[in-house]
Amino acid sequence: MFDVNAEIKKILDAYPDLWKKKSLKKDTIFHSAGGFANENYYLETGMMKIFVVNNDISEESIVAFVKDGTALLPYKGNHTQTPKMFNIQTITDAVMHSISKDNWEIIRKEKQILDEIIHYDSIRVSNIMGELALIKSISDAKKRYEKALQKHPFLNQIKYEDVASYLGITTRTLINIKTNQIKKNKISIKIV
């Protein structure tokens, strides 16, 4: 199976001077919807959320969480103008590497693998969105949460509000689910 993240890490290691390393504080929005994408990213450490904002009700809807070792490729190449459809925000302190579209194109001239990476990244993004749709299609909120947690155990490390947004349920519903789990299993959990 083609691993987009591993391939981008190889490119980062092979061309370190073309990437900018940035330390980001928790809750930093570094990629905003609107305009056109002009950078790609590799998250070395930390966690991020990818979301859209419904301006009519000033509410964000999280579509994915990103953890360390993940490539984010909103810029696809000079052959296409890719609109920035999502916001990306840190949910922990993070270390990220970014590469400008100009530097990406320098590497692209030398490495045909970038076209393959972009192809597989498109498939990866489709799979992530399909997975979210599948999770949200579960009508029972408790089962929806359990399915998501089974697939993404790191959800226990994320604020309730963000997990609830991702699942398409209210924060109150998520708190009730977790409270009932504690009572039923007599387990302790860390509230974040």
Structure tokens at 33: 């919807």
Token pair 């226990």 is found at 156
pLDDT attached to residue 186: 60
Nearest-CA neighbor of 8 among 116, 129, 128, 125? 116
pLDDT beyond 90 at 165: yes
Angle of CA points 91, 146, 129, to nearest 5°: 60
95-106 pLDDT, tens digit each: 999 999 899 989
3-class state of residue 117 by DSSP = helix
Mean pLDDT of all residues belonging to the chain:
87
Rg of the chain taking only CA atoms, in angstroms = 18
Residue range 80-93: mean pLDDT, rounded: 79
Neighbours of 31 (CB within 10 A): 17
Structure tokens at 50: 């990818």
Neighbours of 11 (CB within 10 A): 21
Structure tokens at 118: 């972009």
